[in-house]
Amino acid sequence: MAVKDIVQVWDGKEIIRDNVEFLMEPTKKVKFPLSTNTKEIISDLIDTYQATPCAGVAANQIGYNKNIFIGKKNDLDHDKDFIIHINPKIDKTSDESMQSGPEGCLSIPEKTFIMSRFDKITIRRYDENGRKKIDKLNGFISRLFQHEMEHLQGRLMIGGKIHDEMPVDKAVEKIYDELSNYYSQHNNDLNI
Ligand SMILES: [Zn+2]
């Protein structure tokens, strides 16, 4: 049980390459019944989520290569009620149901992107007892799900689907450009 540090792509001055590579690794599926180790990861996710101003955290963002994320249950500002998503998957999307809006990422501090995403989606996830749950999501919670899913697949909010970027200071811009170049060299199939 611990509040963990967030794995970040830069420290404000330089890119942390080991962290970028770790965040680009697809996470491993969780087996049921949950092992003691996986239960500890979930407990760290809960502690970190509750101590951090955020809408969600993926397991690899706190250093664990596991297919789990924690996310807000409802789209309400001060409500930190959460859901643990294990082995989550998007089953249904439609190009006719799209949305776009600003997104930040705990792993990419100080940057905000206008991201284009699906709106209405059908998802599945497993709870801590291994029970499959099917849900229909839209709006903010749908966007959150897609953002966290990308983390678990080893993708970051770099490349694809970005409509626009909010202005940031020059130093951040510079390391972001460097990161984008590095990322495209290591991720050729990022045509999403
Ligand atoms: Zn993120």
- pLDDT of 145-187, one tens digit each? 999 999 999 988 876 566 777 777 888 889 988 888 888 887 7
For residue 6, tell me if it sits in a domain: no
Q: From its phi and psi, is residue 7 left (phi > 0), alpha (psi between -120 and 50) or beta? A: beta
Pick from 70, 67, 76, 66: nearest CA to 49:
70
Q: Is the pLDDT of residue 192 over 50?
A: no
CATH code, domain carrying 120: 3.90.45.10
Please tell me the distance between residue 26's alpha carbon and the centre of ligand 1 in angstroms.
14
* Dist CA 117 CA 18 (whole Å): 28
Of the listed 21, 103, 148, 150, which one is catalytic?
A: 148
Which of the four pLDDT bands, split at 50, 70 and 90, describes residue 189? Answer: low
Q: Quote the pLDDT of residue 168.
A: 79
Question: How do residues 154-165 score in pLDDT, each as one tens digit?
Answer: 988 876 566 777
Q: Which of 48-52, 99-103, 108-112 has the highest mean pLDDT?
A: 48-52
Q: Is the pLDDT of residue 190 over 80?
A: no
Please tell me the distance between residue 104's alpha carbon and the centre of ligand 1 in angstroms.
7
For residue 38, tell me if it sits in a domain: yes
pTM of the model: 0.92
Q: Quote the pLDDT of residue 162.
A: 67
Please tell me the distance between residue 140's alpha carbon and the centre of ligand 1 in angstroms.
14
Q: Quote the pLDDT of residue 183.
A: 83
For residue 2, tell me if it sits in a domain: no
User: What DSSP character marks residue 14?
Assistant: S
Q: Quote the pLDDT of residue 159.
A: 63
For residue 8, tell me if it sits in a domain: no
For residue 128, tell me if it sits in a domain: yes
Question: How do residues 5-60 score in pLDDT, each as one tens digit?
Answer: 999 999 988 999 999 999 999 999 999 999 999 999 999 999 999 999 999 999 99
Please tell me the distance between residue 73's alpha carbon and the centre of ligand 1 in angstroms.
17
**H or E stretch covering 147:** helix 139-152
DSSP string for residues in 70-94: EEESSS-TT---EEEEEEEEEEE--
Report the number of distinct structural domains present in the chain: 1
Angle at the Cα of 180 from the Cα atoms of 175 and 182, rounded to 5 degrees:
95
Range of the domain at 38: 17-186
Please tell me the distance between residue 98's alpha carbon and the centre of ligand 1 in angstroms.
20
Q: Which two tokens stand for residue 7?
A: 């794995």
| SS3 call for 115 | strand
For residue 119, tell me if it sits in a domain: yes
Q: Quote the pLDDT of residue 6.
A: 98
For residue 5, tell me if it sits in a domain: no
For residue 3, tell me if it sits in a domain: no
Q: Is the pLDDT of residue 138 over 70?
A: yes
Is residue 148 part of the annotated active site? The answer reads yes
